[in-house]
């Protein structure tokens, strides 16, 4: 296996290494995978980026599918130049993710972690850039009472005032079908008149928590009035 090396300008970061050919093949694989594994994928979006927008999407983290759903959304809906953060040991285990824009974060070492945030921030200056981040930092029960974020998302918010920060939440169930149904809700961009990092973190938590309650309510309905993504 090819040895994965760190980015020379961002110590401790295994960088993204996008491949257009791999992206085309992987896109076909992911779309087919969702068609086979899910009964339906429902979508409601209050945000569609323009050609000039750059966007950071923050999501709740509760499922193995969280690694692929952002990619599906980007291919089917947003069509931006996406990147995503993944913990280092997972990047080393699944290095092919680098070819679709994934880079590493090592949360065990603060200096490496801040370099991953710097790499993420600099990535947002690419044309039509986007970033997907799971600010909980770990998989948790989707019905946990209150979401609690790590500090990285708030740091990015402080340092990227011209980027749209957009919450996305998902849930799935088998209430009405043998195969699971996936529900995805994309909220409005979040605009805060705050500078304190902890206050920003709390407000971003509230926005995603509110959206999470909305999508769980809709998932209780047999025929939600949402669009079908798949």
For the stretch 149-165, pLDDT in tens is 999 999 999 999 999 99
For the stretch 68-97, pLDDT in tens is 999 999 999 999 999 999 999 999 999 999
Percent of the chain's residues with pLDDT above 90: 93
Taking a C-beta distance cutoff of 8 angstroms, is the pair 187, 58 a contact? no
pLDDT (mean) for 215-228:
94
Mean pLDDT of the chain: 95
Structural domains in the chain, sorted by start: 20-228 (3.40.1130.10)
Residue 157 and residue 142: Cα distance in Å, rounded?
A: 24
Q: Which pLDDT value is given to residue 4?
A: 81
For the stretch 117-147, pLDDT in tens is 999 999 999 999 999 999 999 999 998 989 9
Full-model pTM: 0.96
pLDDT (mean) for 10-18:
96
Burial state string for 15-24 with b = 16 or more CB within 10 A and e = fewer than 16? bbbeeeeebe
Q: Which pLDDT value is given to residue 71?
A: 98
Query: Angle 152-159/110-123 helices, nearest 10 degrees?
Result: 40
The tokens describing 89, both together, are: 């040991």
- Local confidence band at 5 (pLDDT 50, 70, 90 cut-offs): confident
């Amino acid at each position: 296996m090819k040895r994965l090396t760190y980015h020379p300008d961002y110590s401790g970061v295994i960088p993204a290494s996008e491949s257009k050919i791999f992206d085309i093949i992987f896109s076909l694989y992911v779309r087919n995978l969702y068609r086979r594994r899910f009964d339906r994928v429902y979508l409601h979006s209050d945000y569609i980026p323009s050609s000039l927008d750059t966007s950071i999407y923050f999501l709740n983290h509760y499922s193995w599918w969280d690694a692929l759903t952002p990619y599906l959304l980007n291919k089917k809906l947003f069509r931006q130049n996406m990147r995503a953060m993944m913990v280092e040991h997972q990047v080393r285990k699944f290095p092919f993710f680098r070819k679709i824009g994934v880079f590493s974060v090592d949360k065990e070492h603060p200096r490496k972690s801040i370099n991953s945030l710097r790499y993420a921030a600099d990535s947002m200056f690419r044309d039509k850039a986007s970033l997907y981040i799971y600010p909980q930092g770990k998989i948790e029960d989707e019905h946990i009472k209150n979401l609690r974020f790590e500090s990285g998302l708030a740091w990015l918010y402080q340092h990227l005032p011209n980027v749209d920060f957009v919450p996305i939440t998902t849930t799935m169930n088998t209430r009405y079908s043998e195969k699971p149904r996936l529900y995805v809700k994309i909220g409005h961009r979040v605009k805060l008149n705050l500078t304190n990092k902890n206050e920003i973190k709390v407000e971003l938590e509230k926005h995603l928590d509110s959206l999470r309650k909305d999508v769980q309510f809709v998932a209780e309905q047999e025929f939600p009035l949402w669009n079908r993504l798949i």
